[in-house]
Amino acid sequence: MHIRPRRLRQNAPIRRLTAQTRLHPAQLVLPMFVTEADEPREISSMPGVQQHSVDSLRRAAAEAADAGIGGVMLFGVPNVRDGRGSGADDPGGILNRATAALAAEVGERLVVQTDLCLDEFTDHGHCGVLDETGRVDNDATLERYVSMALAQADAGSGLLGLSGMMDGQVAAVRAGLDAAGHTDVPLLGYAAKYASAFYGPFREAVDSALVGDRRTYQLDPANRREGLREALLDVDEGADVVMVKPASGYLDVLADVAAASEVPVWAYQVSGEYAMIEAAAQQGWIERDRAIAESVLSIVRAGAEAVLTYWAVELAETLNRGEEL
| Catalytic residue set | 193, 245
Residue 81 contacts by C-beta under 8 Å, 6 or more apart in sequence? 87, 121, 122, 123, 209
H or E segment to which residue 103 belongs: helix 94-106
- How far apart CA 188 and CA 156 sit, in angstroms, is 16
Residue 151 contacts by C-beta under 8 Å, 6 or more apart in sequence? 88, 89, 90, 91, 93, 96
Residue 71 identity (one-letter amino acid): G
- How far apart CA 280 and CA 265 sit, in angstroms, is 29
Nearest CA among 243, 260, 239, 190 for reference residue 218: 190
Is 154 exposed, middle or buried, given 0-12, 13-18 or 19+ CB atoms closer than 10 A? middle
Phi and psi at residue 147, in whole multiples of 5°? Answer: -65, -40
CB 109 within 8 A of CB 64: no
